[in-house]
Structure 1
């Protein structure tokens, strides 16, 4: 293992067998000796299939007794006790047919399923794997599973789903069946996916990435999909390697390998397949700075900051000040503005006002830009947080001296004796304007000379339709309307965008269209309707939001995926939930209507989603969320 590999990123690797070993303990020991962390084995022996009574070989009294009191014969069980429960995951019987046209088989299948599940829970198995879903109707399968898992508290119920269908590799038929089950069971959090890789992969990467939004808890890598390298060892193709590494990186699933019944790779040993999977795991791409920073926060719902209503704590300032890229870009923007504004060797002193100075990182940026550009500056550092202001006083006394004038005031109310050449602020939120940068800079632009420069110069909000079972479940856990109508700052992990983000609206500064003291905030109201064409069947669980900002001329910062500033971690994306998952068929169009609204005391967002079929017919319309800011707003 490489010295830099984080052990927390390593996946467990198990061995799957369909054989029914009389001595399960011996098999587990052998599997461990070959480097496997656990085994996947049938719970029951094929003899248990007699309960279906398919050939009417069981007398009526015996069958009725079993229905009334379903008890295992000891010889019907492969996992006979709790002795190995910590080392085994159970395979549910593959002959269970819950959607059979035969009513008796349907009934007996459900009773057998319950019996296996109850035994698994009794001996505390960590997981159960249900066989691949039927290709036809699965209404009764969904109902029976939903009922059966209600009693499960510790054991995870997993459904085996092949990655592709042999008859249509370049489609997402298996995902459609999984989606039907998940929809019928109302996103039951006790039901997850075991994704079984197939020898052929879809060419369209979107058909692979959609699984990143699903609750994939384990991945089966059959021996048969391995190919032989020039030395005779089993390896995986480049596309398989890439997809497996992505799953490991984003989801950290349990990895499960199989062994061939007869040797198919010359130099393969019982440990070759698991060793290769571990090799891929050890060679994951190194985490980027933003991923290291976000460790523990992936898909975690955080309320956006309320910088006008609340004063930030010292620790919050400290975290954001560690972002080297943001301040590097700000310094570059101030440097270029100084170079454009003042001739070399000039005695002109450029006045810079840093509004919302916090603990002073932007002041330091401006001083470094002054030194680098060899332009003289005087800086006003304006801050309303009385606690952060103490830190500014310390910096002035110890470092800045007379180059900086401190002002303790709210930028919307302060009346300076002089105007500035450059106005610098870092008031942006994950959606650009969601921390009230427009309103704050409306109040501050009176500080700016007629030909003055605002940094940032503008910022644009972007949005895209998003799929994520995990985020959907995280919001649903609150069981109230308020949380479905609240945006969250989230470091996306197990998500998939249905289409690339599109711009909603832009704010530019200084805003020459408003009075110095505007009577109201209506000029900051926005409305946008954007549409997205969706190429494959998907489910939409919410809206992803990003921003892109021009600080000065060609100097930008962005969290939009296509233009994300490398290494910048000050902002996570923003997530707007929707009250119900929306089915989005292949070839349909998702339309979002988004509003930024305001009154005298607050700013809020409202949003809704519509889906239109390929022929333009309306298929789904959601209610408008967060009407009048009833669930969430940002206070002025």
Structure 2
């Protein structure tokens, strides 16, 4: 059992790895989550077994680690290839100049120069057709699944995947691709629930006054007012052969959710979680009642209301929730519809948004 300590009861702003350079401490925290990488290793072995079955073992495989960081997924990829006795190439694609130093060092001292280290944004890397990926591996998930722009990152990496065919219709902003590639993770789902936590509400309010922010990524363990209900999900792929339908608003989502109050209390906001399927049989889950044992890389995300809202026991609660975007950024909006109508929080991303560029 591994446990992160020193972060309790402190809200943190979510990371933005697409536009920011992650710190050494952030990478160290990620790398110390051994349970997470064991799950990735199991997923890689399963994906390799699928590949060997599909090709009858007659083909070399290309694995691309997108956002390789300091290399834990690269190590897992090499171990999986060795364990499954599969011949293949491993690419480590990373845009952080500090992390590249570590990757090059590990390639010389640990990986026996088996890895092709690529210093590039994944959106700008263009390998030859024979070196495109059979498996892409990433750990781009945030506490709400897609809040660190995993969909947008992987949309920008479609050209790295081996493709069977691409059919381009008359609308130039929409295309369909049948890709002969496995993505790890293969899908993930976001969840949300109303929450009662006066302490968290007060802490975030004080932080918002200082930083003009209204969304934080807390590690606190507040009282979960209602078991989570499924909200906007984003399915990256469903199998080794998958269809991607892309257009300018494909990653936007809307969901109206209904809850019933278990107790009379003041609702402080909404709390969010995610569940990810890496590959068949391997999952990462931060839902309170299904949390992956020993996993500490992600904490629940908090979407506050401007003011606490009183609800009575048994009362119906209706929440509207959006994932919205424009050419430059992605943001979330939310409001209560019943028992009272509230203004839309974070309308047009005015207080909190995640930059694409």
Distance 1:549-1:491 versus aligned 2 partners, 3 A rule: same
Please give the alpha-carbon distance, in whole angstroms, between the structure 2 residues aligned to 1:345 and 1:475: 55
Is contact 1:502–1:530 with CA below 8 Å preserved after alignment? yes
Please give the alpha-carbon distance, in whole angstroms, between the structure 2 residues aligned to 1:316 and 1:480: 26
Greater share of strand: 2
* Residue 289 (structure 1) shift: 3.0
What does 1:274-285 correspond to in 2, within 5 Å? none
Deviations 1:25-82 (A, max 9, x none): xxxxxxxxxxxxxxxxxxxxxxxxxxxxxxxxxxxxxxxxxxxxxxxxxxxxxxxxxx
Distance 1:331-1:479 versus aligned 2 partners, 3 A rule: closer
| Equivalent in the alignment of 1:629 | 349
Please give the alpha-carbon distance, in whole angstroms, between the structure 1 residues aligned to 2:270 and 2:56: 51
The secondary structure found in structure 1 opposite 2:310 is strand
Asked if 1:509 corresponds to 2:236, the answer is yes
* Residue 535 (structure 1) shift: 2.4
| Equivalent in the alignment of 2:205 | 476
Please give the alpha-carbon distance, in whole angstroms, between the structure 1 residues aligned to 2:354 and 2:137: 22
The secondary structure found in structure 2 opposite 1:423 is strand
The secondary structure found in structure 2 opposite 1:563 is coil
- Across the aligned residues of Structure 1 and Structure 2, the Cα RMSD in angstroms comes to 1.8
Deviations 1:226-262 (A, max 9, x none): xxxxxxxxxxxxxxxxxxxxxxxxxxxxxxxxxxxxx
Give TM-score scaled by structure 1 length.
0.51
Is contact 1:432–1:548 with CA below 8 Å preserved after alignment? yes
* Residue 370 (structure 1) shift: 1.2
| Equivalent in the alignment of 1:526 | 253
| Equivalent in the alignment of 1:409 | 120
| Equivalent in the alignment of 2:277 | 550
| Equivalent in the alignment of 1:269 | none
Deviations 1:383-402 (A, max 9, x none): 00111011111111112234
* Residue 348 (structure 1) shift: 2.7
Is contact 1:482–1:632 with CA below 8 Å preserved after alignment? no
Is contact 1:430–1:574 with CA below 8 Å preserved after alignment? yes
| Equivalent in the alignment of 1:376 | 87
Distance 1:455-1:309 versus aligned 2 partners, 3 A rule: same
What does 1:97-246 correspond to in 2, within 5 Å? none
Higher RCO (C-alpha 8 Å, min separation 6)? 2
Please give the alpha-carbon distance, in whole angstroms, between the structure 1 residues aligned to 2:205 and 2:156: 39
Is contact 2:201–2:304 with CA below 8 Å preserved after alignment? yes
Asked if 1:306 corresponds to 2:16, the answer is yes
Please give the alpha-carbon distance, in whole angstroms, between the structure 2 residues aligned to 1:536 and 1:455: 40
The secondary structure found in structure 2 opposite 1:382 is strand
Deviations 1:419-457 (A, max 9, x none): 111010000000000000000001112211222100010
* Residue 509 (structure 1) shift: 2.1
* Residue 481 (structure 1) shift: 10
Please give the alpha-carbon distance, in whole angstroms, between the structure 1 residues aligned to 2:257 and 2:296: 27
Please give the alpha-carbon distance, in whole angstroms, between the structure 2 residues aligned to 1:296 and 1:395: 29
The secondary structure found in structure 1 opposite 2:191 is strand
Please give the alpha-carbon distance, in whole angstroms, between the structure 2 residues aligned to 1:555 and 1:625: 35
Is contact 2:11–2:220 with CA below 8 Å preserved after alignment? no
Is contact 1:482–1:631 with CA below 8 Å preserved after alignment? no
Is contact 1:498–1:534 with CA below 8 Å preserved after alignment? yes
| Equivalent in the alignment of 1:296 | 6
Q: For structure 1, list consecutive stretches of 5 or more residues without a partner in the other structure.
A: 1-287, 613-619
The secondary structure found in structure 1 opposite 2:273 is strand
Please give the alpha-carbon distance, in whole angstroms, between the structure 2 residues aligned to 1:462 and 1:536: 21
Is contact 2:192–2:271 with CA below 8 Å preserved after alignment? yes
* Residue 482 (structure 1) shift: 7.0
Deviations 1:294-334 (A, max 9, x none): x3322211110011121011121011100011100000000
Give TM-score scaled by structure 2 length.
0.89
Please give the alpha-carbon distance, in whole angstroms, between the structure 1 residues aligned to 2:354 and 2:57: 44
* Residue 404 (structure 1) shift: 1.0
| Equivalent in the alignment of 2:214 | 486
Structure 1 segments (4+ residues) deviating >6 Å: none
| Equivalent in the alignment of 2:226 | 499
| Equivalent in the alignment of 1:442 | 155
| Equivalent in the alignment of 2:106 | 395
| Equivalent in the alignment of 2:169 | none
Please give the alpha-carbon distance, in whole angstroms, between the structure 2 residues aligned to 1:441 and 1:542: 30
- Select 1:585's aligned residue among 312, 320, 333: 312
| Equivalent in the alignment of 1:324 | 34
Greater share of helix: 1
Q: Which has the larger radius of gyration?
A: 1
Is contact 2:323–2:333 with CA below 8 Å preserved after alignment? yes
What does 1:333-372 correspond to in 2, within 5 Å? 333-343=43-53, 346=57, 348-372=59-83
The secondary structure found in structure 1 opposite 2:63 is strand
Is contact 2:208–2:214 with CA below 8 Å preserved after alignment? no
| Equivalent in the alignment of 2:195 | 466
Deviations 1:92-117 (A, max 9, x none): xxxxxxxxxxxxxxxxxxxxxxxxxx
| Equivalent in the alignment of 1:536 | 263
